[in-house]
Amino acid sequence: MTTCKDIYDAIDAFAPFRLQQQGDNSGLLVGSGEEPVTCALLALDITSQVIDEAKAQGAQLIVSHHPIIFHPLKRLDGGVASRLYREGIGAICAHTNLDMAHGGISDRMAQLLGASVIGDFEVIHRFPFYKVTVFVPQTHTQAVYDAMARAGAGSYGLYEGCAFSAAGEGVFHPLRGAHPFIGSVGGIERVREDRLEMIAAHDKLAAVVDAMKAAHPYETVAYDIYETQSLSDVYGYGKVCEMDREYTLEEFAQKVRAVFGCTALRYTQGKDTVRRIALCSGAGGSNLRLAMEKGVDAYITGDVKHDVFVDAVNAGFTVMDAGHYHTEVIFWDILSERLEPLFPQVRFIRAESGADPVCYCMAKD
């Protein structure tokens, strides 16, 4: 049986809720987490129409990007959050944690554009890696290495299981009361050992150390942990990317509009050609200055205010407003791809009623 908490934990594993921006309200917002789930609806926003659809589909859970409860509730007034609780439908909201996750919305934007990510745009969190060094009798080096690797040690970028080992001699003197794996109490023992070193991300460190100790034969394990200065795990908003070729501005604008299905695309006239870009889903207009500092040809985001457009024009810079909805509705592709293989017994349905809430008055031909 799959529960709401199971799905919450699966999202937390790749888009940790602890990453959420201060003031955000991501997480399990309606329900206890113990409710069984056989059907879950995916929606950018939870509206009354989305709840109607969830009921019609027999869904016990709605997973949304935007939080159903954002500002503190001072009373229950029959709104959508109250209705969810009354209908017995849970709500998990993955907002800024999914924006910042590796493989999250910004990476998907780049993928859809066919762009190669070359850097981070706005860094919010920077967590150091740690190096775990342990001394192991050579008879058990492989077992300790395997245990640490399974716990996540030695993984960085596109590589996993990375380690370094060097042979040497360990010396120890077991005292009375000790139960040495090698040798006996009272004698000085000399053992051929390996110095095994592996890196571990901040969120894997405890599990790696536990796994190492469990696989190690000694009752007292000799090991060190160092915080590295050379490696860190970075999370933030947006990406800096390189397109596959140089586009004319008009050609690139058409590509952006087609890729994200924009009802309308607003942009300013900057350089005549575009190759290096910055992108940020949702409402990233306030980061115009940062985009210009990155030396890109264009910046794609949503909810750009009039004064930001004016600043871009005065700077001779291209900013493109592809729309808050259109740059974020791609979230459900990310979630369905992650969750469906983990929970084959659960139906994950994209909400048909979760369309762009804005109506557009378009000019007639």
Range of the domain at 8: 4-95+329-350
Burial 217-234 (b: 16+ CB within 10 A, else e): ebeeeeeeeeeeeeeeee
Residue pLDDT, tens place only, 142-192: 999 999 999 999 998 889 999 999 999 999 999 989 888 888 888 898 999
Query: Considering the domain boundaries, does residue 205 fall inside one?
Result: yes
Q: What is the mean pLDDT of the chain?
A: 94
Separation in Å, CA 273 to CA 24, 155, 246: 37, 38, 6
For residue 290, the model assigns a pLDDT of 97
Identify the three-state secondary structure at position 15.
Answer: coil
The verdict on 135 and 216 lying in the same domain is: yes
Averaged pLDDT, 189-202: 95
For residue 53, name the pLDDT band (cuts at 50, 70, 90).
very high
User: Which two structure tokens, joined as six digits, stand for 314?
Assistant: 């005065």
Q: Is the pLDDT of residue 364 over 80?
A: no
Confidence of residue 236 (pLDDT cuts 50, 70, 90): very high
* Residue 79 CB contacts under 8 Å (≥ 6 apart), including other chains: none
Which of the four pLDDT bands, split at 50, 70 and 90, describes residue 358?
confident
Same domain membership, residue 67 and residue 163: no
Buried b (16+ CB within 10 A) or exposed e, 235-267: bbbbbbbebeeebebeebbebbbebbebeebeb
Residue 111 sits in the same domain as residue 51: no
* 3 state DSSP class of 267: strand
C-alpha to C-alpha distance for 324 and 184, rounded to whole angstroms: 69
DSSP state of 54: H
- Are 141 and 268 in the same domain? no
Q: Amino acid identity of 114?
A: G
Domain containing 40 — which CATH number? Answer: 3.40.1390.30
Cα separation of 24 and 27, whole Å?
10
Closest CA to 35 of 67, 59, 70: 59
Domain for residue 362, yes or no? no
- Same structural domain, 159 and 226: yes
> Where among 290, 310, 325 does a domain terminate?
325
DSSP string, 111-144: HHHTPEEEEEEEEEEEEEEEEEEEEEEGGGHHHH
Q: What share of the chain is helix, strand, coil (3-state, %, to 5)?
A: 30, 30, 35
> How far, in Å, CA of 84 to CA of 55, rounded?
10
pLDDT of residue 325: 95
pLDDT in tens, 252-309: 999 999 999 999 999 999 999 999 999 999 999 999 999 999 999 999 999 999 999 9
The residue among 308, 307, 194 whose CA lies nearest residue 299 is 308
- For the segment 46-52, the average pLDDT, to the nearest whole number, is 95
Is 357 within a domain? Answer: no
Please report the pLDDT score of residue 75 as a whole number: 79
| Predicted TM-score (pTM) of this structure | 0.85
The values of phi and psi at residue 200, to 5°, are -145, 135
Query: Which of the listed residues 233, 258, 282 is the one where a domain comes to its end?
Result: 233
pLDDT confidence bin for 365, thresholds 50/70/90: low
pLDDT digits (tens, 9 = 90+) for 83-115: 999 999 999 999 999 999 999 999 999 999 999
Task: Specify whether 112 is located in the same domain as 90.
Answer: no
Domain boundary residue among 168, 200, 233? 233
Query: Is residue 365 one of the residues assigned to a domain?
Result: no
Q: Which residues are 350's β-sheet partners?
A: 42
pLDDT tens digits for 297-346?
A: 999 999 999 999 999 999 999 999 999 999 999 999 999 999 999 999 99
Highest-confidence segment of 64-73, 225-234, 302-311: 302-311
3-class DSSP state of 171: strand
Q: Flag whether pLDDT at 77 surpasses 80.
A: no
